Amino acid sequence: MNVYETKKIRNIALLGHGGCGKTTLTEAMLYTAGGKSRFGRVENGNTSSDFDQEEIKRKISIRTSLIPVEWKNHKINVLDTPGYFDFVGNVKEAVSACDAAIIVMKASSGIEVGTEKAWEICEEAKLPRMLYITEMDAPNVDIEAILDDCKAKFGSSIAPMQVPWYDGEKYIGYIHAVKMVARRFEGDKVIECDIPEGYEEKLEHVRTMILEAVAETDEDLMEKYFAEEEITVEEIEKALKVGVAAGDIVPVLCGNSVDRAGIRTLMDNIIRCFPSPDEAVEPCDMENKTGLFIFKTMVDPFIGKFSLFKVRSGEVNRDDSLLNVRTGEVEKLSHIYVLQGKEQMEVEKLYAGDIGAVSKLRNTNTCDTLRDKDANIEYEPIDFDKPYVQMAIFPLGKGDEEKMSLALTKLMAEDKTFYTEYDKETHETVIYGIGEQQLDVVVNMLQDKFKVGVRLAPPTTRYRETIKGKMQVRGKHKKQSGGHGQYGDVVMEFEPSGDLDMPYVFEEKIFGGSVPKQYFPAVEKGLEECIHRGVLAGYPVVGLKAVLLDGSYHPVDSSEMAFKMATTIAFKEGVVKAKPTILEPIAHVEISVPDEYTGDIMGDMKKRRGRLIGMELQQRKQLIIAEVPMSEIYRYATDLRSMTQGRGTVEYYFERYEEAPSDVQQKVIDARKELA
């Protein structure tokens, strides 16, 4: 593959709803440009983008693929992203490396949830964008309704460039709404011809939309528009270039990716309308010293580790040695590659704005900055979504714990919205993800790629035990055998401390030396060991106040061990009589949903024993604030997306412990007995 200068590069992310046709569009662009000799299909599992076995099996994209397309002396780096929200981390990676986006829509579906999400992501990143409506051959396509919906949903920036041209139900071409000419598809060619009859009303509707969008970018054009003066093609095209780069104009193009109809026009407009990397929101500079941003990591047990990067400044050459800002280590780039899906093409150099990959870096991760040792450069990390779905994971094979741990570490390197932690209290490895589909992919990858069989289960909830009453008891440990015996005797009082953040408070109120001071630490040590396992279900005890009041000792047989044992006896008897109860962890939950889903969410919260704290209107969404038992929300993020068609989001954190209802307590106690 040729090496391209900054001005000749376009970096675009394909965004949109799952199944809207992003991968097929990528394939159509690559095939039309001559980048491959065979047109791959998702259903056949032979596309350049979806090359992972999980993607082929599921027939969906689960990670972003880089597909460079050479077109008319330009290089278009296409970042084909997943449409399913579980894999949003890959979308964020792509957006960090691109300078513009194409939001793909199916003509038969119009605006979907993923379309709205894609628009929000572009707005947040201030990305220039274009809408591409595919599958124009679908029956009963109403392009006017789709455009009106887009304008209502996304504003007056929507600027349709074409009116679709049909022969019966066959999509055969389009009428260019700017140049006012018709173009007919003939194989891979586009033939210019006269505007067909019967399209005057549709053309006027579309041309009005584009003139309104163009007029809003310039005061002179606005005056012309209201004065009903003619706005020339040259003025429109100039305004388009400026308006698209500023995000004020969003062109709309149509096509049919499977037949490759409209693909040439799309690629021409990518080059014409979208900014080169030096004109982008975060411009790349050829004149500065070398700086790379690692935006993605790919780990494969067979081909090893690849770090995908964007050259943000200067140029990068094979065998360059660059400083990793995070680690302070120097990494040598022995080989530089341009990736086309899973294919690797080695190049000598890449210029600012281009995207490449390097293999086998020692200690470089996603979001790291690599730079010339003399440069003063560090790039902002990607703001990944926090995962809230959690499951405990267990290896099926004996002795596979380490093998599983190593494989999970590699998968975490690939996806920054997935992580694991070992819970020392429950002795479980817990994995966190955006959704259950993401975790299901992890399980399959462990099995297929790393040959580790695993099972998932809900994580063990960290319940606690405490007491509600006050009780005074004596604990005596007396044992006589040959030689010295064992003797410890304590009188203790147990009551609530009032502080559930502290396991226990220990005091002594001994008068007259009935228990020598030297044994006080042994009594506290015995107490410290006891609170790890409560009397109801064996959960740790919190909020306990223990006071040593009295006791007795033997000058020969008493020892620290004997007083520890006496304390244990007192604890078990006293806590049982002091109204023990089980506490459950409560989460502070914030749910953001469109207003029409508020009732459903409130009803579901009630089923989960949640309590409403408040509601706030934030822009066009309701923020519902509630407190919910932690045991009820391990998979809530997935359930919420199901209830709201993907439009709802949730964040939560541990708030406090409080007493569980009696029926819940009984279930917890029974479950622990069964486990034992």
Find where tokens 């599983």 sit. 404
CATH of 583-675, one of 3.30.70.20, 3.30.70.240, 3.40.50.280, 3.40.50.1970: 3.30.70.240
Phi–psi pair at 444, nearest 5 degrees: -65, -35
Q: What is the DSSP letter of 638?
A: H
Common-topology check for domains 389-457 and 583-675: yes
CA distance to 85, 286, 359, per residue, from 290 (Å): 34, 9, 18
Can you tell me the distance from the alpha carbon of 312 to that of 352, in angstroms, rounded to the nearest whole number? 5
Region 6-279: CATH code: 3.40.50.300
Region 464-578: CATH code: 3.30.230.10
Q: What is the three-class DSSP state of 643?
A: helix
Whole-prediction pTM? 0.90
The answer to whether 11 and 99 are in contact (CB under 8 A) is yes
Extents of the domains making up the chain:
6-279, 291-371, 389-457, 464-578, 583-675
Can you tell me the distance from the alpha carbon of 267 to that of 250, in angstroms, rounded to the nearest whole number? 16
Q: Which residues of the chain have pLDDT under 70?
A: 301-303, 482-483, 676
The answer to whether 584 and 662 are in contact (CB under 8 A) is no
Can you tell me the distance from the alpha carbon of 622 to that of 606, in angstroms, rounded to the nearest whole number? 17
pLDDT of residue 429: 96
pLDDT of residue 201: 87
CATH of 389-457, one of 3.30.70.870, 3.10.290.10, 3.60.110.10, 3.50.50.60: 3.30.70.870
pLDDT of residue 218: 87
- Closest C-alpha among 318, 341, 313, 16 to residue 150: 16
CATH of 291-371, one of 2.40.30.10, 3.30.70.2740, 3.30.160.250, 3.40.50.300: 2.40.30.10
Can you tell me the distance from the alpha carbon of 431 to that of 391, in angstroms, rounded to the nearest whole number? 5
pLDDT of residue 301: 66
pLDDT of residue 420: 96
Can you tell me the distance from the alpha carbon of 392 to that of 433, in angstroms, rounded to the nearest whole number? 12
Q: What is the DSSP letter of 142?
A: -
Strand order, beta sheet including 471-479:
471-479, 486-496, 544-552, 504-508
DSSP output for 571-612: HHHHHHHS-EEEEEEEEEEEEEEEGGGHHHHHHHHHHTT-EE
pLDDT of residue 303: 64
Q: Which helix (H) or strand (E) holds 560?
A: helix 560-577
